[in-house]
Amino acid sequence: ALLGTGLGHTGAEAEGFGQDARTSPPVAVFNWTAQLVEETYTNITQKCWEFFVDLMRNVTASELCEWQVISRPYSFLQACLEGWADHLRYGYPNALAEQYIFQSHHRYFHNCTLEHQVYFDPPEDVLLAMIIAPICLIPFLVTLVIWRSKDGKAQP
CATH code of the domain in which 84 resides: 1.10.150.510
The per-residue pLDDT for 5 is: 38
Residue 101 belongs to some domain of the structure: yes
The HSE-up count of residue 78 (CA atoms within 13 Å, CB side) is: 8
Residue 146 belongs to some domain of the structure: no
CA distances from residue 60 to 49, 57, 64, 102 in whole angstroms, order as listed: 18, 8, 7, 20
Q: Containing domain of residue 102, as a range?
A: 34-55+64-109
The per-residue pLDDT for 50 is: 96
Average pLDDT over residues 101-105: 94
Average pLDDT over residues 67-83: 94
Residue 41 belongs to some domain of the structure: yes
Residue 86 belongs to some domain of the structure: yes
**Would you place residue 120 in the very low, low, confident or very high pLDDT band (cuts 50, 70, 90)?**
confident
The per-residue pLDDT for 31 is: 60
Asked whether the predicted pLDDT for residue 137 surpasses 50, the reply is yes
Average pLDDT over the chain, rounded to an integer: 79
Q: Cβ neighbours of residue 89 under 8 Å, at least 6 residues apart?
A: 29, 37
| Number of domains within the chain | 1
Residue 121 belongs to some domain of the structure: no
Residue 97 belongs to some domain of the structure: yes
Asked whether the predicted pLDDT for residue 136 surpasses 60, the reply is yes
Highest mean pLDDT among 28-42, 78-92, 121-135: 78-92
Residue 2 belongs to some domain of the structure: no
End-to-end CA distance of the chain: 89
Residue 115 belongs to some domain of the structure: no
